[in-house]
């Protein structure tokens, strides 16, 4: 069944540059190439610029046939008929992407379709009818030129370009074809994929780029086949990256913002049928590779459009490279190409089915804008203020100069020496400022990577706990343990693989996903450790330099008073010294503030840790309680009391008292143990004063069974919340909760409750005082 794409206005509005990140549907366009002279039977036509009809004897004038339903209609964002122009196709599919790139978005446009359907014509074209690649580069460079004029004083625009082909599952650099086959590399997180050794040309000249592109196209593997005299035997990927560095504030050129957008333009090789292409030998082998990678792409499209949790991009280099375009932060346009000829009806139908599925894929698109000096923003204000003071001081000194010119020769010499020392002091002061700023940047960076490390620890500890392993604080031990359990799991998975039916495969996929994540987390931690070491060393070096610089400044300032002749000079220099002192104090205060901010974030994380511990306790209590109920065990009185208090805690929403409700999802609220309300023991407890929840409440939150998937939900989400993780000293032990054994009435329970709350808040306060 054909998809139901949004109306043209919907579609247009969905492609407007978003603020923040938005979910955006992949745009699908279809282009029908003109019927050739040797092709006589037309089986495909458009009724308007959104629909395409395919049928045995498709004829747009044969209304009766259409009504009989033998023809099939598909709808897309836009359909280009046989008479569409290159310009029209470019404007409606890629023109707006070029603007998005300059605004810091990633975008991809790729041509898909059977061999001979017109992909290369659309993407590359010829000198008289240039295709999308040429037009996009042209537009991009014109826009960049305007930006360059705009940023000529402050800021810069840098354009880089690369062009590669995937031929027989091997990657070749089209800008440097002699460089052999290139490797595909993934970063430790498996997020960014890179081609090692690929030529990245940085240029701002449109002419240079056009020459390079033509050179690249000539180097591409093209061979004649029975279906196409100039059949591309490879997938060609052209990438253009625009990086703009702009001052955040026109008056302050120290704080820069980096905006980076990347446009991928891809001409895929065409799918083909051996019997139609009449390929043999090498051509046949090429066709098999092409079909395999297109099949992998089709599988990804199927999985993504069906909302699968796990999508396998690893089956081909093409899908690994297209991962970002299909599922990541990228605006993507697919131009499906079809031939109207009856001879290619099956291929055209397959293409339309693929395109229809692709219509259901959505990407999360966000702008790649980064405030590079974000962490030191607060210090910039201090520095700007200090600069103002220094400038004022310098002006004052200059104003004083004419008076000192009247002094005699030896006085003049002395004055020159004062001037020299004064300049040295200013110089030392500037160096100090620079070093202090660097130190703060390093501190901020170290705290940032510390948080990232903590996030990774949470990923691992979550995985470990799900696999019933105890997470050790000792890194090496834990790492070895994870690897051991991964190996064990793999053996089990391999053993059960052959017997696994399709229903199990999604579980296996999810497990694989978890394993990949935990492996990445370990890899990431190793990188972070190295980075921490490197930055700590750098910090020590800078600290030493700063100390040397500070000592030098002190000795220079000590020398001065003996040389000073006039009171004015003394006063000016005293003022200068005072400014330096103030600057140092301000810097120290700012730095303290940064540390406090990070400390607050650290505590947020501690709370989240407690939250996770609490969720685990919750599950243990619930399961134990279930076992007791099933075994009809008689509970000691003080344990009954504890359960009672626990119930009250749940319904009193105690956790909101700690002002962290905003950190908690509704799912993470303590679940009631509904079954215990039917327990006579509990009823005895309620008779003493505490009120059980209404039946509606208890029905709404049934006790999760051990095999119930909702147990996972009851435990809440893993505690890895973006931006809240950071490296911590070992976690403090949980606050001790002591309940008086004599507490057996509701009022004493409530007292205990108050005591518990006090104990916890006092604990938090003590933590404040201690730290
Ligand atoms: N819209 C069009 N207008 C005019 N000619 C076209 C159009 N589309 C394709 N052609 C012509 O059809 C032929 C095949 O097109 P093209 O090489 O672009 O197909 P392809 O899909 O890239 O094939 P392959 O996958 O085999 O490389 C070429 O001669 C091309 O010039």
DSSP string spanning 548-587?
HHHHHHHHHHHHHHHH--SHHHHHHHHHHHHHHHHHHHHH
111 closest CA partner among 20, 285, 232: 232
What whole-number distance in Å separates Cα of residue 239 and Cα of residue 145? Answer: 19
127 closest CA partner among 213, 42, 227: 213
What whole-number distance in Å separates Cα of residue 236 and Cα of residue 218? Answer: 12
C-alpha 321 to ligand 1 mean position (Å)? 24
What whole-number distance in Å separates Cα of residue 728 and Cα of residue 587? Answer: 25
361, 413: one domain: no
312-339: average pLDDT? 84
Structure tokens at 409: 């020769």
Q: Which residue reads 């750098």 in tokens?
A: 538
- C-alpha dihedral (139, 142, 143, 144), degrees to nearest 10: 120
- Residues 197 and 182: beta-carbon distance below 8 Å: yes
Q: Which domain holds residue 438?
A: 407-565
- What's residue 493's pLDDT? 47
Atom of ligand 1 nearest to the CA of 270: 25
- What's residue 193's pLDDT? 79
Angle at 571 between CA 565 and CA 576, to 5 degrees: 115
C-alpha 228 to ligand 1 mean position (Å)? 8
- What's residue 652's pLDDT? 57
Atom of ligand 1 nearest to the CA of 36: 12
Our count of domains for the chain comes to: 3
In a domain, 657, yes or no: yes
Atom of ligand 1 nearest to the CA of 86: 1
In a domain, 587, yes or no: no
C-alpha 327 to ligand 1 mean position (Å)? 29
In a domain, 18, yes or no: no
- Residues 338 and 348: beta-carbon distance below 8 Å: yes
What whole-number distance in Å separates Cα of residue 225 and Cα of residue 478? Answer: 57
pLDDT digits (tens, 9 = 90+) for 424-442: 877 887 787 788 778 777 8
- What's residue 762's pLDDT? 35
Structure tokens at 310: 């796990």
500, 355: one domain: no
- What's residue 238's pLDDT? 93
Q: How confident is the model at residue 402 (pLDDT cuts 50, 70, 90)?
A: very low
Q: Is the pLDDT of residue 50 over 50?
A: yes
- Residues 626 and 703: beta-carbon distance below 8 Å: yes
561, 642: one domain: no
153, 250: one domain: yes
Q: How confident is the model at residue 33 (pLDDT cuts 50, 70, 90)?
A: very high
- In 306-340, which ranges are continuous DSSP H helix? 317-327
549-555: average pLDDT? 77
SS3 732: coil
Q: How far is residue 670 from each of residues 274, 614, 622, 648, measured CA to CA in Å?
A: 62, 9, 11, 11
pLDDT digits (tens, 9 = 90+) for 161-208: 899 999 888 899 999 888 888 988 876 555 567 888 888 888 777 778
738, 657: one domain: yes
| Residue 696 is labelled as binding a ligand | no
C-alpha 736 to ligand 1 mean position (Å)? 75
| Residue 116 is labelled as binding a ligand | yes
Q: How confident is the model at residue 370 (pLDDT cuts 50, 70, 90)?
A: very low
Q: Looking at per-residue confidence, does 476 or 596 come out higher?
A: 596
- Residues 221 and 232: beta-carbon distance below 8 Å: yes
560, 618: one domain: no
In a domain, 4, yes or no: no
Q: Looking at per-residue confidence, does 583 or 4 come out higher?
A: 583
C-alpha 117 to ligand 1 mean position (Å)? 6
Determine the residue of 31, 33, 338 to mutate for testing ligand 1's pocket, defined as the one with the most ligand atoms within 8 A of the Cβ atom: 33
Q: Is the pLDDT of residue 318 over 80?
A: yes
What whole-number distance in Å separates Cα of residue 342 and Cα of residue 68? Answer: 20
| Residue 448 is labelled as binding a ligand | no
Sort 564 into a burial class: Cβ within 10 Å, 0-12 / 13-18 / 19+: middle
pLDDT, the chain, mean: 67
Q: Which residue reads 């895929």 in tokens?
A: 268
- Most confidently modeled range among 138-152, 677-691, 711-725: 138-152
- Residues 223 and 283: beta-carbon distance below 8 Å: yes
503, 639: one domain: no
Domain end position, chosen among 347, 371, 395? 371
Atom of ligand 1 nearest to the CA of 269: 25
Domain end position, chosen among 531, 550, 565? 565
Residue 181 CB contacts under 8 Å (≥ 6 apart), including other chains: 170, 171, 172
C-alpha 326 to ligand 1 mean position (Å)? 25
Q: How confident is the model at residue 291 (pLDDT cuts 50, 70, 90)?
A: confident
- Residues 482 and 460: beta-carbon distance below 8 Å: yes
Distance of CA 370 to the CA centre of its chain: 12
In a domain, 303, yes or no: yes
What whole-number distance in Å separates Cα of residue 329 and Cα of residue 318? Answer: 18
757 closest CA partner among 685, 664, 649: 649
367, 416: one domain: no
Q: Which residue reads 């051990």 in tokens?
A: 706
In a domain, 184, yes or no: yes
C-alpha 234 to ligand 1 mean position (Å)? 15
Structure tokens at 412: 């003049």
Lowest mean pLDDT among 3-7, 234-238, 290-294, 641-645: 3-7
Determine the residue of 80, 87, 116 to mutate for testing ligand 1's pocket, defined as the one with the most ligand atoms within 8 A of the Cβ atom: 116
What whole-number distance in Å separates Cα of residue 293 and Cα of residue 296? Answer: 5
C-alpha 125 to ligand 1 mean position (Å)? 9
Atom 11 of ligand 1, residue of closest alpha carbon: 118
- Residues 205 and 126: beta-carbon distance below 8 Å: no
Q: Is the dihedral of CA 200, 203, 208, 209 positive or negative?
A: positive
Sort 414 into a burial class: Cβ within 10 Å, 0-12 / 13-18 / 19+: middle
| Residue 559 is labelled as binding a ligand | no
C-alpha 130 to ligand 1 mean position (Å)? 13
Q: Count the helix, strand and coil residues of the chain and give each as a percent rounded to the nearest 5.
A: 55, 15, 30
Angle at 83 between CA 276 and CA 70, to 5 degrees: 60
Q: Which residue reads 């490390």 in tokens?
A: 453
Atom 31 of ligand 1, residue of closest alpha carbon: 121
Atom 9 of ligand 1, residue of closest alpha carbon: 118
Atom of ligand 1 nearest to the CA of 232: 27
Q: State residue 262 phi and psi, 5-degree precision.
A: -135, 135
Determine the residue of 90, 121, 283 to mutate for testing ligand 1's pocket, defined as the one with the most ligand atoms within 8 A of the Cβ atom: 121
Distance of CA 629 to the CA centre of its chain: 47
In a domain, 601, yes or no: no
Atom 16 of ligand 1, residue of closest alpha carbon: 118
Atom 23 of ligand 1, residue of closest alpha carbon: 116
Lowest mean pLDDT among 259-263, 353-357, 657-661: 657-661
Determine the residue of 228, 266, 297, 350 to mutate for testing ligand 1's pocket, defined as the one with the most ligand atoms within 8 A of the Cβ atom: 228
Domain end position, chosen among 565, 595, 630? 565
Atom 12 of ligand 1, residue of closest alpha carbon: 118
| Interface pTM, i.e. ipTM | 0.98
The rounded percent of the chain whose pLDDT value lies above 90 is 9
606-618: average pLDDT? 73
Q: How confident is the model at residue 698 (pLDDT cuts 50, 70, 90)?
A: very low
Give the CATH number for residue 224.
3.40.850.10
| Residue 119 is labelled as binding a ligand | yes
Angle at 235 between CA 232 and CA 240, to 5 degrees: 120
Q: Which residues line ligand 1 (CB under 6 A)?
A: 33-34, 113, 115-121, 228, 230-232, 269-270, 337
From the CB of residue 648, how many other CB atoms can be counted at a distance below 10 Å? 19
In a domain, 729, yes or no: yes
113-117: average pLDDT? 89
201, 58: one domain: yes
Structure tokens at 193: 């994929």
703 closest CA partner among 665, 666, 670: 670
296, 424: one domain: no
pLDDT digits (tens, 9 = 90+) for 468-515: 554 444 455 556 666 666 666 555 544 443 443 444 444 445 556 667
443, 323: one domain: no
Q: Is the pLDDT of residue 80 over 80?
A: yes
What whole-number distance in Å separates Cα of residue 110 and Cα of residue 31? Answer: 12
Atom of ligand 1 nearest to the CA of 31: 1
SS3 740: coil
- Most confidently modeled range among 120-124, 142-146, 747-751: 120-124
C-alpha 301 to ligand 1 mean position (Å)? 24
Lowest mean pLDDT among 148-152, 263-267, 555-559, 643-647: 148-152
C-alpha 219 to ligand 1 mean position (Å)? 18
C-alpha 116 to ligand 1 mean position (Å)? 5
Distance of CA 749 to the CA centre of its chain: 48
Q: How confident is the model at residue 89 (pLDDT cuts 50, 70, 90)?
A: very high
What pTM value is reported for the model? 0.51
Phi-psi category of residue 105: left, alpha or beta, with phi > 0 → left and psi -120 to 50 → alpha: beta
Atom of ligand 1 nearest to the CA of 123: 18
Atom 2 of ligand 1, residue of closest alpha carbon: 33
| Residue 303 is labelled as binding a ligand | no
User: How many CA atoms lie less than 13 Å away from 449 in the CB half-sphere?
Assistant: 18
C-alpha 230 to ligand 1 mean position (Å)? 8
Q: Is the pLDDT of residue 611 over 80?
A: no
Structure tokens at 10: 């919907």
pLDDT digits (tens, 9 = 90+) for 238-266: 999 888 877 766 665 555 677 888 899 99
Q: How confident is the model at residue 135 (pLDDT cuts 50, 70, 90)?
A: very high
| Residue 155 is labelled as binding a ligand | no
Q: Is the dihedral of CA 135, 141, 142, 147 positive or negative?
A: positive
544, 618: one domain: no
Determine the residue of 87, 90, 118 to mutate for testing ligand 1's pocket, defined as the one with the most ligand atoms within 8 A of the Cβ atom: 118
What whole-number distance in Å separates Cα of residue 756 and Cα of residue 697? Answer: 25
Determine the residue of 120, 133, 341 to mutate for testing ligand 1's pocket, defined as the one with the most ligand atoms within 8 A of the Cβ atom: 120
C-alpha 738 to ligand 1 mean position (Å)? 80
Q: How far is residue 536 from each of residues 122, 292, 539, 548, measured CA to CA in Å?
A: 53, 49, 5, 19
């Amino acid at each position: 069944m054909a998809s139901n794409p949004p109306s043209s206005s919907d579609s247009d509005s969905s492609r407007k540059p978003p603020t923040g990140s938005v979910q955006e549907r992949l745009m699908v366009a279809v282009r029908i190439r003109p019927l050739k002279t040797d092709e006589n039977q037309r089986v495909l036509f458009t009724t308007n610029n959104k629909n395409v009809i395919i049928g045995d004897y498709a004829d747009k004038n044969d209304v009766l046939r259409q009504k009989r339903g033998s023809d099939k209609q598909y709808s897309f964002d836009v359909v280009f008929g046989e008479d569409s122009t290159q310009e029209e196709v470019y404007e409606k599919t890629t023109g707006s992407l070029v603007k998005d790139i300059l605004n810091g978005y990633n975008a991809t446009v790729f041509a898909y379709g059977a061999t001979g359907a017109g992909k290369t014509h659309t993407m590359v074209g010829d000198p008289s009818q240039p295709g999308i690649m040429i037009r996009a580069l042209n537009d991009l460079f014109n826009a960049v030129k305007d930006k360059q004029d705009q940023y000529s004083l402050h800021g810069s625009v840098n354009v880089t370009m690369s062009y590669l082909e995937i031929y027989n599952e091997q990657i070749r650099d089209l800008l440097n074809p002699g460089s052999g086959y290139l490797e595909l590399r993934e970063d430790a997180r498996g997020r960014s994929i890179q081609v090692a050794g690929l030529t990245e040309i940085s240029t701002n000249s449109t002419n240079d780029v056009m020459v390079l592109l033509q050179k690249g196209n000539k180097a591409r593997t093209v061979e004649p086949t029975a279906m196409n005299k100039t059949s591309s035997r490879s997938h060609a990927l052209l990438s253009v990256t625009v990086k703009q560095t702009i001052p955040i504030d026109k008056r302050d050129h120290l704080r820069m913002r980096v905006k980076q957008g990347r446009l991928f333009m891809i001409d895929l090789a065409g799918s083909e049928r051996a019997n139609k292409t009449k390929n043999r030998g090498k051509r046949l082998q090429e066709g098999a590779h092409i079909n395999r990678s297109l099949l992998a792409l089709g599988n990804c499209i199927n999985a993504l459009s069906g909302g699968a949790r796990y999508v396998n991009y690893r089956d081909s280099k093409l899908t690994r490279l297209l991962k970002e375009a299909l599922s990541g932060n990228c605006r993507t346009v697919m131009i499906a190409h079809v031939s109207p000829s009856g001879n290619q009806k099956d291929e055209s139908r397959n293409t339309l089915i693929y395109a229809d599925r692709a219509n259901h894929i959505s990407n999360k698109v966000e702008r790649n804008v980064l405030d590079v000096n974000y962490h030191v923003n607060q210090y910039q204000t201090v520095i700007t203020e200090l600069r103002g003071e220094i400038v004022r001081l310098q002006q004052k000194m200059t104003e004083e100069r004419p008076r000192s010119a009247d002094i005699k020769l030896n006085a003049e010499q002395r004055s020159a020496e004062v001037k020299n020392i004064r300049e040295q002091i200013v110089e030392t002061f500037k160096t100090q400022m620079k070093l202090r700023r660097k130190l703060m940047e390093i501190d901020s960076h170290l705290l940032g990577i510390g948080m990232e490390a903590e996030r990774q620890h949470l990923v691992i500890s979550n995985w470990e706990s799900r696999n019933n392993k105890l997470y050790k604080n000792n890194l090496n031990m834990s790492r070895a343990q994870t690897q051991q359990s991964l190996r064990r799991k793999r053996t089990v998975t391999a053993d059960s693989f052959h017997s696994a039916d399709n229903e199990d495969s999604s579980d296996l996929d999810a497990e694989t996903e978890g394993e990949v994540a935990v492996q990445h987390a370990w890899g990431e931690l190793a990188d972070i450790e190295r980075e921490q070491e490197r930055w700590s060393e750098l910090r020590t070096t800078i600290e030493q330099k700063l100390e040397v610089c500070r000592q030098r400044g002190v000795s220079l300032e000590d020398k001065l008073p003996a040389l000073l002749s006039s009171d004015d000079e003394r006063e000016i220099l005293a003022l200068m010294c005072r400014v330096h002192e103030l600057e140092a104090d301000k810097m120290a205060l700012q730095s303290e503030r940064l540390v406090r901010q990070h400390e607050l974030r650290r505590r947020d994380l501690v709370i989240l840790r407690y939250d996770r511990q609490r969720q685990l306790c919750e599950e243990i209590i619930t399961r134990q309680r279930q076992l007791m109920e099933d075994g009809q065990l008689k509970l000691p009185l003080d344990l009954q009391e504890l359960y009672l208090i626990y119930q009250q805690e749940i319904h009193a929403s105690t956790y909101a008292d700690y002002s962290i409700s905003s950190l908690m999802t509704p799912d993470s609220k303590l679940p009631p143990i509904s079954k215990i309300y039917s327990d006579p023991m509990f009823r005895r407890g309620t008779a003493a004063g505490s009120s059980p929840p209404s039946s509606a409440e208890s029905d709404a939150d049934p006790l999760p069974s051990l095999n119930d998937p909702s147990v996972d939900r009851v435990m809440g989400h893993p505690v890895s919340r973006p931006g809240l993780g950071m490296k911590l000293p070992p976690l403090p032990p949980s606050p001790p909760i002591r309940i008086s054994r004599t507490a057996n009435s509701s009022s004493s329970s409530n007292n205990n409750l108050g005591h518990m709350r006090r104990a916890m808040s006092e604990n938090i306060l003590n933590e404040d005082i201690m730290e």
